[in-house]
């Protein structure tokens, strides 16, 4: 950790005057943005997918720790890259420097077309749906119209309003967007803290749920080594998705104060904070009911609230989940737009998205375009299906970026690195091995989804060729 917080004496090469953006995010803003972006709905839903294959408290908790450690292996590599290139776009920039424009573009295209657009759509709909438990007037049962196979309910309308509100707040100023994000994240922490503390002190749970009875096979629960490894693999899939989002802070690095120090710090501190929250929530679930019961509930948070308190507590918990989804959506909105802004600056995306608003100093067109596409996906109802197609592509992009660290150590040995990857080359190599194995396994086990995801990504190539040609034509005209 000492090397992580080493003070950089190197003068910033990209200032707000050069980029047009304002470096207005502090370390605290960055940590809250990252933690708020990671903690969405997963921790309230995924316990079932872990408790099933790993029916022992030791393994149930260990898999959350392993998820944090594996994510940290990648974060250490990203932290070095972030200290080298403290620019808006983050991972897009790292891929561009390591592998060239086309690879970087395909990553950015995947984000815009499905990953970020789908995330904004899914989280806004989830937030609205959980709000409907408190305000029945916005229930999914209230259909507004059906056309061309698309059904629009009041939940969809509320989701569109939430999407537009967050986008507008981010358009009218970086600090306004940061304040919204900070308030949402602090409120999320407070609500989760109340649930954990009251649940474990006043709730109708039992600490005996952490014990395993005699004759159960001990810590292995009678599982063979192969079964245990398989269970860990299955559990880690859910855990990896729950930790996904730590990369957000790299996307907005161009607006972080002292990014060469604060971006690496924020990634490590943010993952640690999220791991603590996840372990605390998991502990509360097991206190509420045995793991055999945890494995039976899709909506484990609601089931735990009912077991610990009463059926009325589920309504209160719905508000917590709605807030959590809203905060994660706000993080995705703020950060994702900076990737398209960087792409447009490179001349490989819509040119208007490279513009910075003269008054508010934000990538306003990029934010608006992202919100509009998120709205289209919201109304289409296909965002979850599309996202499952590119999941393997997202993990592949992380793996490629960590490989890029090795490439850039050779390609750009003289580039200043205020932070050098902890545990290099062992820790990043471990992540590359795990990420590659997971990606290959996904392609083998789910070839249709992998093929569909690949097709979605490759559809962007004609756009890349067009934008690249237009950019060269414009540069030639200037000369």
Contact between residue 134 and residue 317 where contact means Cβ atoms under 8 Å apart: no
Q: How far apart are CA 330 and CA 328, in angstroms?
A: 5
Least-confidence region, from 41-50, 201-210, 213-222, 408-417: 213-222
Confidence of residue 411 (pLDDT cuts 50, 70, 90): very high
Contacts of residue 75, defined as CB under 8 A and 6 or more positions apart, other chains included, come to 246, 267, 268, 271
Residue 20, classed as helix, strand or coil, is coil
pLDDT tens across 462-474, in order?
999 999 998 888 8
Alpha-helix runs per DSSP H in 2-115: 16-19, 27-38, 47-51, 57-84, 91-99, 101-110
Superfamily of domain 22-472: Amino acid/polyamine transporter I (1.20.1740.10)
pLDDT tens sequence across 127-138? 998 888 888 887
| 42-58 pLDDT per residue, tens | 899 888 889 888 888 88
Please state the rounded mean pLDDT for residues 332-338: 95
pLDDT above 90 for 233: no
Is there a contact between 3 and 409 (Cβ–Cβ < 8 Å)?
Answer: no
Round to whole Å and give the CA distance between 257 and 12: 10
Q: What's the pLDDT at 153? A: 84
Average pLDDT over residues 98-102: 96
Provide the pLDDT for residue 5. Answer: 38
pLDDT digits (tens, 9 = 90+) for 351-404: 999 999 999 999 999 999 999 999 999 998 887 777 778 888 888 999 999 999
Q: What is the mean pLDDT of the chain?
A: 88
| Tens of pLDDT, residues 66-80 | 999 999 999 999 999
Separation between Cα atoms, residue 76 and residue 357, nearest integer Å: 34
pLDDT of residue 216: 52
Closest CA to 169 of 15, 458, 371: 371
Which pLDDT value is given to residue 174? 94
Q: Is the pLDDT of residue 178 over 60?
A: yes
pLDDT of residue 8: 38
Task: Give me the pLDDT at residue 315, please.
Answer: 80
Whether residue 310 is predicted with pLDDT greater than 60 in this model: the reply is: yes
> CB-based contacts of 410: which residues, under 8 Å, 6+ apart?
none
Residue 6 has pLDDT above 50, yes or no: no
Least trusted range by pLDDT, from 89-103, 131-145, 318-332, 419-433: 131-145
**How crowded is residue 335: how many other Cβ atoms within 10 Å of its Cβ?**
27
pLDDT at 12: 39
Please, is 409 exposed, middle or buried when counting C-beta atoms within 10 Å of its C-beta (0-12, 13-18, 19+)?
middle
- Taking the whole predicted model, whether its pTM rises above 0.85 is answered as yes
- pLDDT for 395 equals 86
pLDDT band of residue 148 (cuts 50, 70, 90) is low
* pLDDT tier at 13, thresholds 50, 70, 90: very low
> Half-sphere exposure (CA, 13 Å, Cβ side) for 235?
28
Per-residue pLDDT at 19 exceeds 60: no
CA-nearest of 202, 188, 196, 193 to 282 is 196
Cα(367)–Cα(385) distance, integer angstroms: 24
Q: Looking at the predicted structure, is the pLDDT value of residue 112 above 60?
A: yes
pLDDT class of 217 with cuts at 50, 70, 90 = low
Is 35's pLDDT higher than 90?
Answer: yes
């Amino acid at each position: 950790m000492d090397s992580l917080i080493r003070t950089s004496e190197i003068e910033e090469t990209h200032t707000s005057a050069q980029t047009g953006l304002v470096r207005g995010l502090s370390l605290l803003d960055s940590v809250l943005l990252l933690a708020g972006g990671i903690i969405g709905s997963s921790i309230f839903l995924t316990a079932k997918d872990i408790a099933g294959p790993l029916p022992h408290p030791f393994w149930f908790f260990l898999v959350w720790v392993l998820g944090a450690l594996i994510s940290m292996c990648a974060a250490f590599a990203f932290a070095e890259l972030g200290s080298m290139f403290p620019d808006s776009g983050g991972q897009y920039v790292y891929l561009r420097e390591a592998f060239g424009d086309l690879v970087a573009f395909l990553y950015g295209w995947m984000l815009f077309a499905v990953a970020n657009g789908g995330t904004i759509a899914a989280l806004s709909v989830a937030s609205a749906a959980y709000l409907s438990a408190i305000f029945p007037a916005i229930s999914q049962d209230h259909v507004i119209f059906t056309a061309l196979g698309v059904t629009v309910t009041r939940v969809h309308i509320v989701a569109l309003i939430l999407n537009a509100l967050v986008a507008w707040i981010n358009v009218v100023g970086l600090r306004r967007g940061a304040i919204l994000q900070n308030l949402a994240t602090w409120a999320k922490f407070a609500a989760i803290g109340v649930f954990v503390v009251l649940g474990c002190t006043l709730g109708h749970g039992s600490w005996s749920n952490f014990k395993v009875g005699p004759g159960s096979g001990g810590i292995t629960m009678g599982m063979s080594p192969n079964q245990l490894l398989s269970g860990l693999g299955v559990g880690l899939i859910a855990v990896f998705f729950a930790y996904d989002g730590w990369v957000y802070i790299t996307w907005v690095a161009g607006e972080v104060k002292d990014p060469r120090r604060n971006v690496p710090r924020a990634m490590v501190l943010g993952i640690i904070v999220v791991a603590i929250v996840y372990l605390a929530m998991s502990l509360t679930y097991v206190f509420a009911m045995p793991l055999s019961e945890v494995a039976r509930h899709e909506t484990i948070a609601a089931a735990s609230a009912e077991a610990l308190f009463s059926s009325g507590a589920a309504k209160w918990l719905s508000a917590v989940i709605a807030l959590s989804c809203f905060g994660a959506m706000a993080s995705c909105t703020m950060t994702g737009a900076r990737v398209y802004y960087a792409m447009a600056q490179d001349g490989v995306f819509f040119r208007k998205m490279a513009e910075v608003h003269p008054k508010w100093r934000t990538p306003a067109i990029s934010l608006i375009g992202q919100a509009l596409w998120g709205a289209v996906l919201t109304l289409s109802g296909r965002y979850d299906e599309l996202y499952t197609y590119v999941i393997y592509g997202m993990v592949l992009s992380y793996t490629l970026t960590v490989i890029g660290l090795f490439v850039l150590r050779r390609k750009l040995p003289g580039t200043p690195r205020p932070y050098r990857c902890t545990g290099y080359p062992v820790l990043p190599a471990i992540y590359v091995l795990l990420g590659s194995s997971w990606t290959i396994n996904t392609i083998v086990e789910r070839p249709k989804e992998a093929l569909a995801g690949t097709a979605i990504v490759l559809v962007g190539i004609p756009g890349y060729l067009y934008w690249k040609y237009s950019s060269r034509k414009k540069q030639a005209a200037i000369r």
